[in-house]
Every structure is written in C-alpha cells, then in structure tokens.
Structure 1
Amino acid sequence: MARVYATADQYEDYTGQAPPADIDHRLRAASSFLDAQVFRMCRYDVTDAGLPSNALVAAAFADATCAQALWGVEVGDTTGAAGVGWGNVKIGGVQLGRSVTSVSGADAPGRQVAPAVGDALRNPDLTPDLLQLGAVSTW
C-alpha cells in the first residue's frame, strides 16, 4: 500500500485555499512521486508503516507533499501527459517546437519536483540526526 504523507486538512493549511475535489488522489500521486524522486534518497527513522517517526520530519514531508500537489494544480498537469506527443506544431502564424527527444513527457512541468519541496526539506530544524538528504545506504 502506498504511503501518503499529507491530508486534505494539511493541504488547506499549507495553501490557505480549499482543496480541489480530487485532493486525496493528488496527495497520493504527489506522495508516490516524491517517494520515487526524493524521499527514497533520504535517511530518516520510520514507523512500522514506513512513515517518518519524527514529528518534524513528518511535518516536512507533509509540507513537501502539499507543495508538490499544489505545483500540479498550478501547472495544470500532474502526470506529464500535457508534454507528450508533439515535436513541432504550426497553427496559423504560430509555430511551437520541441526537441524530438523531449516528447516523452518526462521533462514536462508536471513531472518536475516543485521548488518548494526543497524548501520544506531544508528546514533548519531538520538536523542531520533527523533527516539526511541524499543519504542512501544499506544496513
């Protein structure tokens, strides 16, 4: 079962806005995306459910998840699908072009880590004994 690091209430507190109708889906998707792109490369203590056991780390993960979900709302794309399928398009006098190597959607804004995620995870209260970014190890 996928871990979800934030709730609709946390999203509303983070953004100061009522959450969109599909917020549970967005928070699940943002959590899964951040697990794959960021959290898996961090070292932190976890509960039996795999969630951060420290309250400061859990709050930072919630903020990061809310930031990622908000990013998807703001850019209008959470999957990268909006960036797929065209190399060059011309409509009337307007011509848009994209490198042939970038039509997978992987470079679309919806597939980027939101800048505010880094802000949440670089909180000065998150000392190295609580959270280490980029600390992949095996025990």
Structure 2
Amino acid sequence: MRVYATVEEYAAYPGAPPATSQTPGLLLRASRMLERLVLRYCQYDVDPTGLPTHPLVVAALRDAVCAQAAWWDQVGDPSGADAVGWGSVAIGSVQLGRSVTAVTGEDAPARQLAPEVWDALADPALTPDIFRMGAVTTC
C-alpha cells in the first residue's frame, strides 16, 4: 500500500495536531481514501511502486494526505461509524435525532474529503503537463 506522507511530514504540516502512535495508521487510511476517491482519476508520472515522481506532485499528494488526517482530528471518527444507526436519543431535557436510514458511515463528515485536500490538488503549480485531475483514458 502506498502512503504519500510520513509522520515527520505530518508533524510539520501547518495546523496538524501533534503526531501520536495512531498517526501512521491515519496516514495509511488517508492515502487509501484519496486513492479510492480522487487519485484513481488523476494522471501523473509514477515510479515502479506507483508513487509520483515529480516533486510538485509529491508535495501536493503529501499535503492532501496530511490535510485529510488533520481533518479527522477535527471532526473525529475517521471510520464513519458514529454516523450509523441511532434515531433519537434523550438525556434529561436534551434530545438528539437523526435518520436511521444510514447503514454505512460513508455520509459521515469524517468520510468526506477535507477542503484542504482540494486546495492541495488544485495548486496552480500543478500544470497539466505534470498533473491532470479527472483524467480518464483507455488503453
């Protein structure tokens, strides 16, 4: 599995909370999520392991992964499990409710891409000759 950011890079990312023992796993999960939702539709040069070769693309993917991991710290629950299931809950005078139609966590805020991910991948320095988002090709 490709991971586009190291713990050290995450620790240096502006606004990121301090790295913990959970950080390597979060970076792996963020990399996997970005590959599934975005990178599979992008075109850029890679090495034999599938990692980007151009320094600007390397930096953009690093920043996107760090942004996603930092987002999870802000919204919590990177699995999306908190968004599944319960209908209404009452504790004293406080009542909370939400639809019970959610059977997966995909609609949870933590399963959405962080706004900063798009900022990193839309950097004007990523010119079409080195990075193309939304590229669909046939062999």
Q: TM-score, normalised by structure 1?
A: 0.92
Moved more, 39-48 or 15-24: 15-24
After the TM superposition, which parts of structure 1 deviate over 6 Å for at least 4 consecutive aligned residues?
none
Is the 1:105–1:111 contact (alpha carbons within 8 Å) kept by the matching residues of 2? yes
Alignment of 1:32-43 (within 5 A): 32-43=32-43
Aligned mates of 2:138, 2:9 — CA distance in 1: 32
User: What does residue 77 of structure 1 align with?
Assistant: 77
Alignment of 1:42-81 (within 5 A): 42-81=42-81
Aligned mates of 2:71, 2:54 — CA distance in 1: 26
Aligned mates of 2:35, 2:72 — CA distance in 1: 16
User: What does residue 4 of structure 2 align with?
Assistant: 5
Moved more, 76-85 or 53-62: 76-85
Aligned-residue offset at 1:106:
1.2
Amino acid of the structure 1 residue aligned with 2:39: F
Amino acid of the structure 2 residue aligned with 1:109: P
Paired-residue identity, %: 54
Aligned mates of 2:41, 2:99 — CA distance in 1: 30
The two structures, once aligned, show a CA RMSD in angstroms of 1.4
SS of 1:15's partner is coil
Amino acid of the structure 1 residue aligned with 2:109: P
CA deviation profile, 1:44-98 (whole Å, cap 9, x unmatched): 1111000111110011000000000101111121110111121222222222121
Aligned mates of 1:60, 1:125 — CA distance in 2: 9
Aligned-residue offset at 1:138:
2.3
Aligned mates of 1:32, 1:69 — CA distance in 2: 12
Aligned mates of 2:112, 2:68 — CA distance in 1: 9
CA deviation profile, 1:9-34 (whole Å, cap 9, x unmatched): 11011136531221111100100011
Residue 126 (structure 1) aligned with residue 121 (structure 2): no
Q: TM-score, normalised by structure 2?
A: 0.92
Aligned mates of 1:101, 1:138 — CA distance in 2: 38
Aligned-residue offset at 1:103:
4.4
CA deviation profile, 1:97-133 (whole Å, cap 9, x unmatched): 2123334221111111001000000111000111111
Residue 92 (structure 1) aligned with residue 92 (structure 2): yes
